[in-house]
């Protein structure tokens, strides 16, 4: 019996995940069928099911890759000077965060699906818990160096920062860049306050913030 080629297996999985992401963005998570994904990937359902048993498993794989990317992003933040400054810099849309699958308006579809699908909820929870744990670790490191007050709770602070950043991302659906730029100084002061730091002068803080933008879905099937 011929052994499976690991490189080819990973290539096929990547092919399926890329096709699935394209379908999810075009039709939404619920609207995209396995048939749609197979067509986009150029393979039969039997071939696809050899690698993934369901759409839930595909989302789990995408979330797993995003966890790895989040780890790399957090590492980059940790190497980008004081944490507060690094987080503020990362709010700039021009800052390279890395390649994420669950981003933009697709994130809303996945979050909505998580509210009714335990398998997807577990994947989303794992992703965000990983992000918060990594951020909390960076906060503890900053506390050890004396750059962040020792009395703040790392886990609670990490969750508050994540919630604020995600909330600003959501506002990209309903507010334009000028409105978000007007809010930027207050957002930056809020992050400094959450970290227990004295707010600094805004300087060039009136810049666009990183947001999730809505995409227009097209009926492709």
**Start-end ranges of CATH 1.10.10.60 in the chain?**
1-53
**Start-end ranges of CATH 1.10.357 in the chain?**
55-213
Burial pattern 89-110, b for ≥16 Cβ within 10 A else e, equals: ebbeeeeeeeebbbbbbbbbbb
Using one digit for the tens of pLDDT, what is the confidence trace for 160-195? 999 998 888 778 778 888 888 888 888 888 999 999
Using one digit for the tens of pLDDT, what is the confidence trace for 5-58? 666 889 999 999 999 999 998 998 888 999 999 999 999 999 999 999 999 999
| Class at the top of the CATH hierarchy for domain 55-213 | mainly alpha
80 three-state secondary structure:
coil
Task: Assign a CATH topology to domain 1-53.
Answer: Arc Repressor Mutant, subunit A (1.10.10)
Q: What is the Cα–Cα distance from 66 to 59, expressed in whole angstroms?
A: 10
């Amino acid at each position: 019996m011929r052994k499976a080629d690991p490189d080819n297996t990973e290539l096929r999985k990547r092919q399926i995940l890329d096709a699935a992401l394209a379908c999810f963005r075009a039709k939404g998570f619920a609207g995209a069928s396995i048939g749609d994904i197979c067509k986009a990937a150029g393979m039969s359902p039997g071939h696809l099911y050899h690698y993934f048993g369901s759409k839930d498993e595909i989302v789990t794989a995408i979330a797993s890759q995003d966890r790895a990317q989040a780890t790399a992003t957090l590492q980059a933040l940790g190497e980008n000077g004081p944490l507060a400054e690094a987080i503020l810099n990362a709010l700039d849309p021009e800052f390279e965060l890395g390649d994420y699958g669950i981003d933009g308006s697709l994130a809303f579809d996945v979050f909505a699906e998580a509210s009714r699908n335990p398998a997807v909820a577990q994947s989303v929870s794992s992703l965000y818990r990983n992000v918060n744990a990594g951020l909390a670790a960076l906060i503890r490191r900053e506390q050890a160096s004396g750059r962040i007050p020792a009395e703040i709770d790392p886990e609670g602070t990490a969750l508050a920062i994540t919630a604020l950043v995600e909330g600003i991302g959501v506002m990209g659906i309903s507010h334009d860049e000028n409105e978000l730029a007007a809010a930027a100084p207050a957002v930056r002061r809020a992050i400094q306050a959450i970290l227990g730091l004295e707010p600094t002068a805004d300087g060039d803080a009136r810049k666009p913030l990183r947001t999730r933008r809505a995409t227009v879905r097209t009926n492709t099937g």
